[in-house]
Structure 1
Amino acid sequence: MNLNTRYRLNKRLTLGVNLNLNGGNNSSFFFWKADSLKYSPFPGTVSKNQPLRFNIDPHLTYYDGSGNRHKLLSRYLKVENRVSNGRSNFSEQYYLEYQFQRNIKAIDLNVTAGAVYIGSDVEAELYGDTTFHSRNLATYIDFEKRFGTKLTVSAGFRYESNLINNPGFIYPGGVVEPSQEKEAKPVLRLGANYQIGDYSFLRASWGQGYRFPTIAEKFIFTNLGGFNISPNPDLQSETGWSTELGIKQGLKLGSLKGFLD
């Protein structure tokens, strides 16, 4: 079941709220029994799940007297996974984002900036049947500038701060000591797009990536078909970068139009 609403109070202010509720009943397995029995799950790997998910997303958009756009996005998400064999988990997530956008027409520059908060509380038999809390705070700014009619350059910066409160727990293979894990890192990106001819575009980009481990990746423990999955509290974050160079060419064959990338 879902519901999407939006109400325009005046030419500057729009309010809305989206709702979604869904549930189910399903079974899944971790791996097959053997190559000759590939449609049969290995004993002890089948889990029966009764999931229930609910989210409510209030949002607001406002244009001030100077034409700047202000957006407020929020979400409350509740997840219940009632899983057999001691694998149930329950979580609540809170999301709040403020975004500001300004188009400086005199220099053909578009600026977008904002701040994000994401908080989660998770209780699960998979994590020692106790409650974990995680939090992500981020601020960002993005610039997009046009030079003439052919070249567009963009640059972005994001700074993230992550936290996990681990209450500690005892599991069959040992003890996970309580901890509070914090980490913060910047993330950068650059990009450019140039029109080299009629319907021909050359693009280049470079960007950094950063991923902080989840509660599940660090603290899950269970047994599937005789195989133990143990906590890894020392798991560290991932960082990297990627780059791209590409060309896109428009095509027209009679009434057929498309792009070759």
Structure 2
Amino acid sequence: MLMIMSARPHLPMSIPVTLNSLGTSFLLLLVLFGLNVFSADICEPHVTLKDIKTYPSSLSSHIHKNYYRYLMMDKKSHSLYVGAMNKVIKLNLTNIADNNHREAILLANSTFLDRCIWQGKEKMPDCQNHVRLIAFNGSKLFVCGTGAYNPTTYQLDIHSLRQIGRSERGMGLCAFDPFDNSTAVLVKNRNQRNDLVSIYSGAFADFSKAQPQIYRPSVYAKNGTLLNKYLRSARSSSKWLNEPQFVASFDAGEQVLFFLRELAVEYSNCGKKIYSRVARVFAR
């Protein structure tokens, strides 16, 4: 069973979920520019937003912004992975302006792009593929993009950024709307097999933003055998999540911590108040 403990006052501190089949510069980037920043060692090296904005991208445009929204630092390879609109970039941390960088182009499916426009969204920037999650999974990068309001996941080679296999649907793993805040973290060694990983996410699960959720998809063995069915927080319940904006998530041993802000239901009769919360998910 998945358990969530929340810092929300005046509400039960332990509620069972129903089983319904980042140095300092990085922290400043997160606060000031809304970037998701993660690192195994955030004390060094030092990277500034100006460095990232001025790197020599082959697809840089003077017309459209690149929407750098996600940073992942790998100190072992001295690399910085940047999630942007329609691409993932691998930069050399020793010299961000080094021309010897790599890019993976991840465009939204044309069918979903056309449907996104038909549903009233702008082609630029709404109906593009904004990368909102990059996570290390062995020799691969697990990437999730908004996919023109159709969240899509990819597996990329960690060195070459070459795509491995086909892209897949990523509903609930990252945001539909590129300007929504979502979070996810890969968690190892919490399942029936130590060689497997699970992803725990906080995001809206639908186009209309009516279903915010904390979610863990089903876990399968390498041979395709289902080991654990998917788990999610209660559906459409303001007592669980009330118009949340997810900030970050972290693997903390037996728990996964979700940091978010939301409208406080305990003060609904006194006007709107936004509270910061920490939700602890028992990942067993």
Asked whether the two chains share a fold, i.e. TM above 0.5, the reply is no
Q: TM-score range by the shorter chain?
A: 0.3 to 0.5
Q: Which has the higher contact order (CA 8 A, sep 6+)?
A: 2
Question: Higher strand share goes to which structure?
Answer: 1
TM-score by length of 1: 0.33
Q: Which has the larger Rg?
A: 1
